[in-house]
Amino acid sequence: MTDISEEYFSNIYKDVIMDHFRNPRNGEEIAEYDYCREEINPFCGDKISLKIKLSPERVITSVSAVAEGCTVIKAASSLLSVFIEESSIDELPGKIEKFEQFLKNNDESVGYPELGELSELGIVRQHPVRLKCVLLPVRALNNIINQS
């Protein structure tokens, strides 16, 4: 029997979000990493631990995004981790800025094809209280970028 809350969220969120919630990518801790950042939302208890390993060329070779909390934080962490895999950390600020603009833009006709599956998180625009859930892993990534 399906949990009522999971059934409820399945009706609200798209298949991609539910897939990343149920089967998070990069959800295992990595032993070797160059940067680590943990963030928490004290109001709801959502947590993210983001770790990345860089090559000498500053390309992300390994990423770990371990999230605890709601459906959205888990899916957002997974989707973001896939999005940044094999990216140059020096190119990420522009990509993350585009993603943040996307989340703030309510015009569905404006496309952001460069975001790929990450754009599935645009559904939170219909549920603004969930925006903080999506932005928590982004905040962790921005802090890592600023550290690097």
Among 13-17, 73-77, 132-136, which is the least confidently predicted range?
A: 13-17
110 φ, ψ to 5°? -80, 120
Alpha carbon distance 136, 47 (integer Å): 8
Indicate the pTM of the whole model.
0.87
Mean pLDDT, residues 12-27 taken together: 87
Report the mean per-residue pLDDT for the chain: 89
Alpha carbon distance 24, 10 (integer Å): 16
Mean pLDDT, residues 23-27 taken together: 96
- With bands split at pLDDT 50, 70 and 90, how would you rate the model's confidence at 1? very low
Tokens 């990345």 belong to 52
- With bands split at pLDDT 50, 70 and 90, how would you rate the model's confidence at 107? low
Mean pLDDT, residues 6-18 taken together: 64
4-147: which CATH number, 3.90.1010.10, 3.40.50.1820, 3.40.50.2000, 1.10.10.10? 3.90.1010.10
Question: What is the percent of the chain where pLDDT is above 90?
Answer: 73
Q: Which two tokens stand for residue 133?
A: 């859930």
Per residue, the 3-state secondary structure of the chain, as one string, reads CCCHHHHHHHHHCCHHHHHHHHCCCCCCCCCCCCEEEEEECCCCCCEEEEEEEECCCCEEEEEEEEEECCHHHHHHHHHHHHHHCCCECCCHHHHHHHHHHHHHCCCCCCCCHHHHHHHHHHHHHHCHHHHHHHHHHHHHHHHHHHHC
User: Are the CB atoms for 58 and 89 separated by under 8 Å?
Assistant: yes
Among 32-36, 72-76, 105-109, 142-146, which is the least confidently predicted range?
A: 105-109
Question: What pLDDT is recorded for position 13?
Answer: 59
